[in-house]
Amino acid sequence: MGELEEYINPRLKEIQISGIRKIANKVAGYPDALSLTIGQPDFPTPDHILRAAEKAIADQRTVYTPNAGLPELRKAAAAFMDTKYGLQYDPVEEVIVTVGASQALDITLRTILQPGAEVILPGPIYPGYEPLVRLCGGTPVYVDTRQNGFKLTAELLEPHLTENTRCIILCYPSNPTGRVMSERELADMAALLQDRKLFVVSDEIYSELIYDAPHRSIASLPGMREKTIVINGLSKSHSMTGWRIGFTFAPAYLSQHMVKAHQYNVTCASSISQYAAIEALTAGRDDALPMKAEYMKRRDFVYDRLQGMGFDLVKPEGAFYLFPSIERFGMPSMEFTLRLLEEKRVAVVPGDAFSVYGEGHIRISYAYAMNVLESGMERLEAFVKGL
Ligand code: PLP
């Protein structure tokens, strides 16, 4: 129906398919390729969580749950945030169970953004935010964090704040760089923002995967809780990407509106997944620890290998990505990526998938078994030697 094309939402028409998906589709055409692209744990979902889901099925827990999620799950999620990160949220009024962190971001941004709102994004950054901002009629405002090892600081942020700034999106530990804001950087950020009329969306989906220090949320700093929406979920911490369970933690005056966007969007998250999630956040509270120990070994291995090949890169403190510079090879990240795929059958994600500030880099995921990483590094080494 070509003649109806003009009536399609122009904001949606402007949005592109994510660069990560594009490269993943391309890799599908090379069955012998070794992929280091995916932001998905390679560990199985812990067995006891599978059992809880099986029990929920056997018990016919197959009906709608309350819109905001099972009360027991919200209680478990609130307790998890309290004991792990010292954040207190009322499970009834301030916690919503969503369909992954992705839907948590969607209902959050639809609640707090109006057309014309400026939203600060520290680039390079996960590509899931900008399209949602644009769908709300907001304007993404990127802050170049390359000069500070990919970390947003109060100093870098301040010149970008205007009277239209409504929201700052923080994603630490970061996808794609693995960086984490330090205590000092968080404190300076809170000091800058605490008296300003703007929201902070803190995507903490990698909070359980920080290697050297405990995770600290900006919501725990003075003056920040009432303006911050914390996003989290089980995809990365419990290797549960396909179960689609995420959470929002936000003050009641916000959550009461977010839950409406959620209700008319999905009614509730999958009931079976919610029962599995209760198990994950109670008996499986520390399930991420053995995975983290393994990721750390892999990080050290890939980091050392890349350094040995002469790549310029920072050592990530969290998540499961490395983001080396490819600038010295003098070609765009997409060209580097496609050549690496065609010539050596290794797939990585071009840095420009993470905004223009990611250009000149590639993202390597180490959520893969050690033998895959070893072969991947051998092939990458052979490739760069030939350039
Ligand atoms: N936020 C970040 C920073 C991510 O890297 C991802 C997934 O890769 C998501 C959100 C989406 O998570 P979920 O699978 O829970 O929707």
- Per-residue pLDDT of 259-314, as tens digits, reads 999 999 999 999 999 999 999 999 999 999 999 999 999 999 999 999 999 999 99
Q: Are 120 and 143 in contact (CB under 8 A)?
A: yes
Ligand 1 center from residue 11 Cα (angstroms): 22
Counting from 1 in the atom list of ligand 1, the atom nearest the Cα of 174 is 3
This prediction's pTM: 0.97
Same-domain status, 204 and 322: no
Same-domain status, 138 and 275: yes
Tell me what pLDDT residue 379 has. Answer: 98
Ligand 1 center from residue 101 Cα (angstroms): 6
**Across-strand partners of 203?**
171, 231
Domain end marker among 236, 265, 281: 281
Nearest CA owner, ligand 1 atom 5: 175
Residue 24: is its pLDDT beyond 90?
no
Q: What is the maximal distance between C-alpha atoms in the chain?
A: 60
Tell me what pLDDT residue 177 has. Answer: 98
Question: How much is the average pLDDT of 210-235?
Answer: 96
Query: Does the residue 55 lie in any domain?
Result: no
Ligand 1 center from residue 100 Cα (angstroms): 7
Ligand 1 center from residue 310 Cα (angstroms): 31
Tell me what pLDDT residue 123 has. Answer: 97
Counting from 1 in the atom list of ligand 1, the atom nearest the Cα of 235 is 15
Indicate the top mutation candidate among 133, 235, 320, 349 to test ligand 1's pocket, ranked by most ligand atoms within 8 A of CB. Answer: 235
Tell me what pLDDT residue 17 has. Answer: 82
347-377 tens-digit pLDDT: 999 999 999 999 999 999 999 999 999 999 9
Query: Does the residue 51 lie in any domain?
Result: no
Indicate the top mutation candidate among 38, 232, 236 to test ligand 1's pocket, ranked by most ligand atoms within 8 A of CB. Answer: 236
User: What does residue 175 show for φ and ψ, rounded to 5 degrees?
Assistant: -105, 115
* Token pair for 110: 């639809």
Ligand 1 center from residue 274 Cα (angstroms): 18
Tell me what pLDDT residue 261 has. Answer: 98
Ligand 1 center from residue 130 Cα (angstroms): 14
Ligand 1 center from residue 205 Cα (angstroms): 6
Q: How far apart are CA 289 and CA 275, in angstroms?
A: 22
Following CA atoms 157, 160, 164, 166 in sequence, which dihedral angle do they give, to the nearest 10 degrees? -20
- The model's confidence at residue 26, banded by pLDDT at 50, 70 and 90, is confident
Counting from 1 in the atom list of ligand 1, the atom nearest the Cα of 103 is 16
Contacts of 330 (CB under 8 A, 6+ apart): none
Query: Does the residue 174 lie in any domain?
Result: yes
Ligand 1 center from residue 223 Cα (angstroms): 27
Mean pLDDT score of the chain: 96
Tell me what pLDDT residue 1 has. Answer: 60
Query: Does the residue 69 lie in any domain?
Result: yes
Question: Pairing state of beta strands 199-203 and 165-171?
Answer: parallel
Tell me what pLDDT residue 115 has. Answer: 97
* Burial bucket for residue 238 (CB in 10 Å: 0-12, 13-18, 19+): buried
Counting from 1 in the atom list of ligand 1, the atom nearest the Cα of 105 is 10
233-249 tens-digit pLDDT: 999 999 999 999 999 99
Query: Does the residue 346 lie in any domain?
Result: yes
Look at the block and give the residue holding tokens 């999958």: 270
- The model's confidence at residue 178, banded by pLDDT at 50, 70 and 90, is very high
Counting from 1 in the atom list of ligand 1, the atom nearest the Cα of 206 is 3
**Angle between helices 100-112 and 252-266 in degrees, nearest 10:** 120
308-346 tens-digit pLDDT: 999 999 999 999 999 999 999 999 999 999 999 999 999
Ligand 1 center from residue 143 Cα (angstroms): 21
Counting from 1 in the atom list of ligand 1, the atom nearest the Cα of 246 is 15
- Residue 27, domain CATH: 3.90.1150.10
Same-domain status, 214 and 354: no
Same-domain status, 371 and 295: yes
Query: Does the residue 370 lie in any domain?
Result: yes
Tell me what pLDDT residue 73 has. Answer: 98
Tell me what pLDDT residue 18 has. Answer: 81
Q: Are 361 and 323 in contact (CB under 8 A)?
A: yes
Pocket of ligand 1 (CB under 6 A): 39, 100-102, 126, 128, 171, 175, 203, 205, 233, 235, 241, 246
Query: Does the residue 214 lie in any domain?
Result: yes
Ligand 1 center from residue 26 Cα (angstroms): 21
Domain count, the chain: 2
Tell me what pLDDT residue 16 has. Answer: 84
Nearest CA owner, ligand 1 atom 12: 101
Ligand 1 center from residue 266 Cα (angstroms): 18
Residue-range definition of the domain harbouring residue 15:
5-45+287-385
More confident residue, 16 or 324: 324
- Residue 91, domain CATH: 3.40.640.10
Query: Does the residue 319 lie in any domain?
Result: yes
Indicate the top mutation candidate among 205, 229, 245, 321 to test ligand 1's pocket, ranked by most ligand atoms within 8 A of CB. Answer: 205
Same-domain status, 252 and 103: yes
